[in-house]
Amino acid sequence: MKMKITLISDTHAKQNQLTTSKSLRNSARPLDLPGGDLLIHAGDFMSSGYSIPEARDFFDWFDSIDNYEYKIFIAGNHDRAMQNYPEEMRGDLTGYKTIDYLEDETCTMYYDGHNGDFPEDNIRIYGSPWQPFFYNWAYNLPRNGDELKSKWDAIPDNTDILITHGPSYGYLDDVEGRRGEHLGCELLAERIKAFRPKIHVCGHIHTGHGYYFDGHTHFFNAAILDERYIYSQAPFNFEWDNVTNEIKWL
């Protein structure tokens, strides 16, 4: 089965700069979010992360996008409200019927029309916000500690698309001006190597924006803002065959 996917991350309250069919109107600018089967946001949708109205603005915006069948997002280290006020934020999200929020949990896309009778047509997506300790932000855990390892061990082995806010070590995690210095998670890299998801989506390290395929997993760092928080890095739009694991850029 082939499906059209769009990946974004690290919008930091600047989501309205992305063009959709609604926002373009009479503009000739190409669509950043052209529509398809699946739209994924890999976290950091807030700026400082303390403003609950800012989180709700993002929820409203994400919910308003009407040209994708599935829309999934996770939190990132800037999204403090999701960790500080989990009950309130979860309560808000129950009012949105077209978006799914994942925090250490799985969402399954059913495409056979029979709720899973033909599992080869189902896409299992797992999302998690954690990363090794990064200043005094949200969803931090000690690097290489048992608690962080337990988060990655909880990822089901049959996951097709893995969404984490931070990258895995050595994959699209270079620091600007210091190539060879990696901020990704070693334990996450080990877990990905063990079960080999077809796609891994992350953000967090803005200068790591890019794509890499290791022969088993398609790695995407989908951060759209650069280190100056300027929208200069385009979303990824592609067609993916979940059986052959081949992608075609759109």
What is the 3 state secondary structure string of 26-73? CCCCCCCCCCEEEEEECCCCCCCCCCHHHHHHHHHHHHHCCCEEEEEE
Q: What's 6's domain CATH number?
A: 3.60.21.10
Predicted confidence at residue 134, as pLDDT, reads: 83
- Tell the residue number behind the tokens 């996951």, with chain if given: 159
- The dihedral of CA 240, 37, 79, 23: what is its sign? positive
Angle at 71 between CA 66 and CA 72, to 5 degrees: 160
Q: What is the model's pTM?
A: 0.94
Predicted confidence at residue 30, as pLDDT, reads: 83
Strands 178-182 and 174-175 come out as: antiparallel
In tens digits, the chain (250 residues) has pLDDT values of: 899 999 999 999 999 999 887 776 656 678 999 999 999 999 999 999 999 999 999 999 999 999 999 999 999 999 999 999 999 999 999 999 999 999 999 999 986 544 545 556 799 999 999 999 988 899 999 999 999 999 999 999 999 999 999 999 999 998 765 556 788 999 999 999 999 999 999 999 999 999 999 999 999 999 999 999 999 999 999 999 999 999 999 9
Predicted confidence at residue 136, as pLDDT, reads: 87
- The dihedral of CA 202, 208, 209, 213: what is its sign? negative
Full domain range(s) for residue 119: 2-249
Contact 93, 38 (CB under 8 A): no
Contact 174, 181 (CB under 8 A): yes
Strand partners of residue 22: none
Strands 199-202 and 236-241 come out as: unpaired
Domains in the chain: how many in total? 1
What is the 3 state secondary structure string of 86-99? HHHHHHHHCCCCCC
